[in-house]
Structure 1
Amino acid sequence: MSLREHNSFGLPAVARTLVRVRSEADVRRVVDHPEFGRAPKLILGGGSNLVLTRDVDAVVLKIEIEGRRLVAETEDAWIVEAGAGERWHDVVAWTLDQGLPGLENLALIPGTVGAAPVQNIGAYGVELKDRFHSLDAVDLITGRSVTLDAAMCRFGYRDSLFKQDLAGKSVVTRVRLRLPKPWVPALGYLDLERKMAETGDTHPSARTIFDWVCAIRRAKLPDPAAIGNAGSFFKNPVVSAEQCRDIIGRDPEIVHYPLPDGSVKLAAGWLIDACGWKGKSVGRAGVYERQALVLVNRGGASGAEVVTLARAIQESVYGRFGIRLEPEPVIV
């Protein structure tokens, strides 16, 4: 089974076995299968956070569990649930259509609902953990269902328990999100501040913020349907205030965001651009002309070419700034 159509980079790879998972029962059937049960597993959602460098011997579980619903409403929040196979952006749009604001800053992030807590996705000042309630998952060893709350998921920056102890050992089947009441807009991000200044709208609605975020992302990021990519390829590095002051002393223009704990998040795209990588290529893999944080498939690229390019960028940034960039996608 070719995986080229199942990864947003459009990289060539073949899976020996692919199982479409549309329910928890489908997962249990794989666990109980005499051949598949003991085999290694690769969990595949939208394939938007994946770099395939080879054919896959593991059993690929293509998660296609659907469903969206409002599960509960309390005085201080709405709780909504979505199947792990739903497209994340579709669920964000659906919540707004239902009059349930809170996810608008996370609009247009590629991938599925099931991948969102694994990656602890985030954008424009909001992370999934800020809106997370709980999730259901199936253990790939025992076949048992478990429900995990936020503390159990051990969320970190683009990180969670599912990238640590439970990597490849558990399948997320449903995710519940907590949308706080009263709604308070999250506007403390440079691009959104620019939109407020441009439009004169200093009290935007959730729908307006959604539209702004979509416009900003479309202007910066290529559509995977047109040019293969996995979105932001590197995590924004977090450094100490002292390290940041040192870098500012040498590069006053560096884009940085102070964090509540006193550390500082640096814009990885700025670091890459400063090293001259924007628009450059290694083989058929390249750095997107409008956003240095995005690596792209210029046509017929292999996973090996993408990884070679990524490593060259890492070495370049480390050589100039002393910072080691960490890739966001899973490299297989």
Structure 2
Amino acid sequence: MALSLQAFHTFSLPSQCSQLCEITDLTQLQLLTFDSPFCILGEGSNTVFLSDYQGTVIKMATTGVVIVERDNDYLLEVAAGENWHQLVAYTLKKGMPGLENLALIPGTVGAAPVQNIGAYGVELAKFIEYVEYFDIATKQLIRLSCQQCEFGYRESIFKHQLKNKAVITCVALALPKLWQPELSYGPLQQLESVTAQTVFEQVIKTRNSKLPDPYILANAGSFFKNPIIENQLLSELLVAYPQLPHYYYDEHHHKVAAGWLIEQAGLKGYRIAGIEVHQQQALVLVNHGGSEGSDLIKMIQHIQQQIWQRYQISLQHEVRLMNNDTECHIGLGELA
């Protein structure tokens, strides 16, 4: 029997799946056959189903947090189904700061390492001690160190070598007792009283002012990655666009703000069917309803084409897109 997926992904396009399996105990994973196709899902805040999914959606809903105090830090072993923002708030309440810059990022703890979530100058990889996953082939639990996870900007081994081979079950975070604030980004630079709590509150305030609540207005958060470009291109762009926000990435590259590029291209408020470039934050696409996956594809391609023509920058979507049986990637003028 087909089941609606509209309530299981925050972009809320009309779609269905053949089977939905909610995992509340890891022993359930042993019983699954993992016949292709299947899709691992947390809270669906970074996944969009473009069409009906001809397979099984496996929703991770395990819970639990174990805290181990060590000499120099706290080790948190967190089940995959825990809500990320609730974990951040919990750590501050317990006097274990460090994650405050990552407040209000939607989704589950298990989904967080897949794309190495990050915000306001901090990436999750900074705190990862290990990630535990269920190996689909051997049905064993395996732990990878932070280095073995091969983290990069919105990247990890789980998007590449371990894609469709692993189900993340636990994430272990090491929070140093010696707290050092990260205040390099935007509104955090103006904070008068710097504590983990004030950083936490400012991040929430800033995100709420820019990002619509997906449970009020359907969206999948930041839709596009901030492009990493060569220094030569950046130098050329700064002549024409001196206000372009840019951040050091490595000696040969800088990261530039995708939202700024989209806004300066005049795309705020641009609409195809019920899908719109958000009026307050151009990095976000919202779904007013009455839309299909094909409308979203047209919107993505239109934005990519405009950004390429204006800046010679290839914009990549950050959100995971699912078609009828697999994840897909939308590039300039094509669906791959």
3-state secondary structure, aligned to 1:75 = coil
Q: Which digits, 9 at most, give the CA deviation of each residue in 1:107-142, with x for residues without a partner? A: 000110000000100000000001111111101222
- The AA in structure 2 aligned to 1:256 is H
Contact 1:136 1:146 in 2 (8 A): yes
Out of 14, 17, 23, the position equivalent to 1:15 is 17
1:191 paired to 2:190: no
- Equivalent residue runs for 1:1-332 within 5 Å: 1-31=3-33, 37-70=34-67, 72-194=68-190, 196=191, 200-201=192-193, 204-332=194-322
3-state secondary structure, aligned to 1:94 = helix
Contact 2:273 2:290 in 1 (8 A): no
3-state secondary structure, aligned to 2:40 = strand
- The AA in structure 1 aligned to 2:222 is S
Contact 2:96 2:177 in 1 (8 A): no
Q: Who is 1:34 aligned against?
A: none
Identity across the alignment (%):
41
3-state secondary structure, aligned to 2:101 = helix
How big is the shift at 1:190? 1.8
Q: Which digits, 9 at most, give the CA deviation of each residue in 1:276-322, with x for residues without a partner? A: 11111011100000000000001232222122101100000001100
Gaps of 5+ in 1: 32-36
- The AA in structure 2 aligned to 1:41 is F
How big is the shift at 1:261? 3.5
How big is the shift at 1:10? 0.9
Q: Which digits, 9 at most, give the CA deviation of each residue in 1:12-67, with x for residues without a partner? A: 11110111111221111103xxxxx4332100101011121111112110110111
Contact 1:23 1:173 in 2 (8 A): no
Q: Which digits, 9 at most, give the CA deviation of each residue in 1:131-161, with x for residues without a partner? A: 1111111012221111111111111110111
Distance 2:231 2:163 in 1: 32
In structure 2, relative to structure 1, the CA distance for the partners of 1:68 and 1:23 (3 Å cut) is same
Distance 1:12 1:81 in 2: 36
134-143 vs 42-51, which deviates more?
Answer: 134-143
Structure with more helix by fraction? 1
Cα RMSD of the aligned pairs, angstroms, is 1.1
TM-score (norm 1): 0.94
Contact 1:83 1:113 in 2 (8 A): yes
How big is the shift at 1:262? 4.5
Distance 1:327 1:230 in 2: 11
Distance 1:121 1:309 in 2: 24
In structure 2, relative to structure 1, the CA distance for the partners of 1:190 and 1:155 (3 Å cut) is same
Q: Which digits, 9 at most, give the CA deviation of each residue in 1:229-269, with x for residues without a partner? A: 00000000011222111100111111111234342110000
How big is the shift at 1:169? 1.5
Distance 2:152 2:41 in 1: 21
Contact 1:118 1:162 in 2 (8 A): yes
Distance 2:321 2:164 in 1: 13
Contact 1:117 1:129 in 2 (8 A): yes
- The AA in structure 2 aligned to 1:179 is L
Distance 1:57 1:320 in 2: 39
Instruction: Say how many residue pairs are matched.
Output: 320
3-state secondary structure, aligned to 1:119 = coil
Distance 2:218 2:200 in 1: 24
How big is the shift at 1:192? 1.1
3-state secondary structure, aligned to 2:276 = strand
- The AA in structure 1 aligned to 2:22 is R
- The AA in structure 2 aligned to 1:281 is R
302-311 vs 254-263, which deviates more?
Answer: 254-263
Distance 1:168 1:4 in 2: 23
